[in-house]
Amino acid sequence: MSILGELSEEEVEFVKLVSDGNASAVRKQLDDKTVRVDCLDEHGMTPLMTAAYKGDVTICRILLKHGANVNTNYHAQGYTTIMFAALSGNLETTQLMLEAGARTTATNNVGRTATQMAAFVGQHQCVSLINNFFGKDDLEIYTVPRGHATEAMLPTELCDPLYKIILNSNLHPVKISYLLQENIAIMNNSTKVCKLMDLLCKKQMTARVETNEILAIKFHYISTVIKEAAKSLEIKQDNLEAWIKRMVRGRAEDGFCEDQERLIRSMLKDFPYSSSGLLQQCVRTIATVKVGDDPTALVTLGQCINGQRMARDEDLPCITCGDYGAPKKCSACKMVNYCNQGCQKNNWSSHKKMCKELYCMYLATKKRDEEEAAEAARKKEDEEKKKLEELSGGDVQAIEGAEASNGTLENGEEKGMNETSEARTETEDTSPIQLEDITTGIDDVTMES
Ligand SMILES: [Zn+2]
Ligand SMILES: [Zn+2]
């Protein structure tokens, strides 16, 4: 191992190349073996830490390929590569560090883990990626028969699709069901897959080194969704259509998805390790909430597994499957978002009962927003008038200056407003989910907006 700050001349250049993002030069130096891949600068930073912090996926890959150690701990503040990756918010580099075997439980000098640090700076996707990480190798081992068994627990062709479900951080049962629909072979082997999920759950809870309650609950949850979906599939033989509709079906009085709520509540009740702290935390939260009130069991489960997530305006979730950043919205009420027409269609029989009511809410909100905007504009105008009146007592140049700057400001604002409204029409234009299209053939309710 190199000693802190003792860099050769080549290594000083190497560190700079990494920092500058010069991938080809970095590769050349490593290939020429003129530098140590884990050389340390005066702060105990390795080149991999620098590249991870910069979110430079290419250089991270090169360094790892040349044997960079993902778990060095010579950093002055005790930071590790996964901490730098998570702080940078780059999902790809974070994933790379995980795949390279980064220890997620390592703490810095003040006792913070990578996920705690990432959560602190608002990198919630990195937090959920780390919390949900499960190595591909840990699944692949089940595709070969073990011990005296003649048959593997997991058919090889199911490894990739199942791994995708395990890594998926959107816990909405419809999202999981979509992933199952994509690979219906999982459903055809549901007994085997559930048995494996239950075993993996048990392994997480009984691990000698460290238990992982997050993964254990997740495996148990995936197993539950598959088992329940399989029951529906057995009766309907319909590629899970009826199951998905059931999961989004809203009750008559308020559109609340009761079946979904009950699925998650009973899943938690059935979790075999009742002493789990995370489970108890989940159950305690849910126990005080009446079915139909907030937070839903899904939200609570998501917070336990993925951590607190700050909601941002731009990533509105799809009302059907819960994927963030759903680009389309119901053109009738403009109040619910969808990934695509498929998601809208699955939700339509529930949504049609609420759409009109939501549209009234939309109009009321819009009216209020407009009134507020008008009021703000009026206030601003008054203030400007007042300012001008005050200034008119001063010298002419000052007035001219004020007028000129007011002019540009207004123009700028006007332009900005135009841009927004243009952008808005554009999104609406590119996303015209014509509800009318969906109504025909499904139901004879006509939508008036
Ligand atoms: Zn969706
Ligand atoms: Zn609507």
pLDDT tens per residue, range 163-220: 999 988 889 999 999 999 999 999 999 999 999 999 999 999 998 877 889 999 999 9
- Contacts with 121 (C-beta within 8 Å, 6 or more apart), sequence order: 87, 89
Domain identity same for 99 and 230: no
User: Please, what is the average pLDDT of the chain?
Assistant: 85
Domain identity same for 281 and 381: no
Q: Look at residue 317 and tell me if it is in a domain.
A: no
Choice among 210-224, 232-246, 330-344, 423-437 with the minimum mean pLDDT: 423-437
Domain identity same for 265 and 356: no
Q: Which residues of 287-300 are buried (b: 16+ CB within 10 A; e: fewer)?
A: eebeeeeeebbbbb
Q: What is the pLDDT of residue 20?
A: 96
Q: Look at residue 326 and tell me if it is in a domain.
A: no
Domain identity same for 144 and 113: no
SS3 content of the chain, % helix, strand, coil (to 5): 65, 0, 35
Nearest-angstrom CA–CA distance, 268 and 283: 7
Q: With H, G, I as helix, E, B as strand and everything else as coil, classify residue 285.
A: helix
Choice among 22-36, 172-186, 337-351, 391-405 with the minimum mean pLDDT: 391-405
- Rama region for 214: left / alpha / beta (φ>0; ψ in -120 to 50; rest): alpha
The domain boundary residue, chosen from 71, 90, 122: 122
The domain boundary residue, chosen from 99, 122, 145: 122
Q: Look at residue 178 and tell me if it is in a domain.
A: yes
Distance (angstroms) between ligand 1 centre and the Cα of 343 equals 5
Nearest-angstrom CA–CA distance, 375 and 380: 9
pTM, two decimals, is 0.69
Q: Look at residue 316 and tell me if it is in a domain.
A: no
Domain identity same for 287 and 351: no
Domain identity same for 342 and 398: yes
Q: Look at residue 384 and tell me if it is in a domain.
A: yes
Q: What is the pLDDT of residue 431?
A: 37
Q: What is the pLDDT of residue 172?
A: 96
Task: Return the CATH number at 77.
Answer: 1.25.40.20
pLDDT in tens, 13-40: 999 999 999 999 999 999 999 999 999 9
Q: With H, G, I as helix, E, B as strand and everything else as coil, classify residue 328.
A: strand
Q: What is the pLDDT of residue 305?
A: 83
Distance (angstroms) between ligand 1 centre and the Cα of 347 equals 9
Distance (angstroms) between ligand 1 centre and the Cα of 172 equals 10
Q: Look at residue 329 and tell me if it is in a domain.
A: no
Distance (angstroms) between ligand 1 centre and the Cα of 338 equals 5
Q: Which amino acid is at 150?
A: T
Mean pLDDT of 43-61: 94
Distance (angstroms) between ligand 2 centre and the Cα of 301 equals 27
Q: For the chain, what is the domain count?
A: 3
Distance (angstroms) between ligand 2 centre and the Cα of 431 equals 13
Ligand in nearest proximity to the CA of 338: 1
Give φ, ψ of 367 to 5 degrees.
-60, -45
Give φ, ψ of 34 to 5 degrees.
-90, -10
Q: Look at residue 417 and tell me if it is in a domain.
A: yes
> Which residues constitute the domain of residue 92?
9-122
Domain identity same for 99 and 170: no
Query: Residues 263, 228: contact at Cβ < 8 Å?
Result: yes
Check residues 188 and 409 and name the one with the higher pLDDT: 188
- Contacts with 40 (C-beta within 8 Å, 6 or more apart), sequence order: 2, 3, 4, 5, 6, 7, 46, 72, 74
Query: Residues 217, 278: contact at Cβ < 8 Å?
Result: yes
Distance (angstroms) between ligand 2 centre and the Cα of 351 equals 6
Q: What is the pLDDT of residue 220?
A: 98
Ligand in nearest proximity to the CA of 352: 2
Q: Which amino acid is at 163?
A: Y
Query: Residues 142, 153: contact at Cβ < 8 Å?
Result: yes
Distance (angstroms) between ligand 1 centre and the Cα of 291 equals 23
Q: What is the pLDDT of residue 419?
A: 36
Q: Chain centroid to CA 18: how far?
A: 29
Domain identity same for 110 and 141: no
Mean pLDDT of 424-442: 39
- Contacts with 400 (C-beta within 8 Å, 6 or more apart), sequence order: none
Ligand in nearest proximity to the CA of 170: 1
Distance (angstroms) between ligand 2 centre and the Cα of 2 equals 63
Q: Which amino acid is at 207?
A: A
Domain identity same for 199 and 83: no
Domain identity same for 69 and 116: yes
Whole-number Cα distances in Å, 175 to 198, 282, 295, 415: 20, 21, 19, 40
Number of C-alpha atoms within 13 angstroms, CB side, residue 58?
11
Ligand in nearest proximity to the CA of 244: 1
The domain boundary residue, chosen from 98, 122, 146: 122
Q: What is the pLDDT of residue 325?
A: 79
Domain identity same for 109 and 17: yes
Domain identity same for 206 and 286: yes
Distance (angstroms) between ligand 2 centre and the Cα of 326 equals 15
Ligand in nearest proximity to the CA of 329: 2
pLDDT in tens, 270-298: 999 999 999 999 999 999 999 999 999 99
Give φ, ψ of 105 to 5 degrees.
-90, -5
Query: Residues 299, 261: contact at Cβ < 8 Å?
Result: no
Q: Look at residue 16 and tell me if it is in a domain.
A: yes
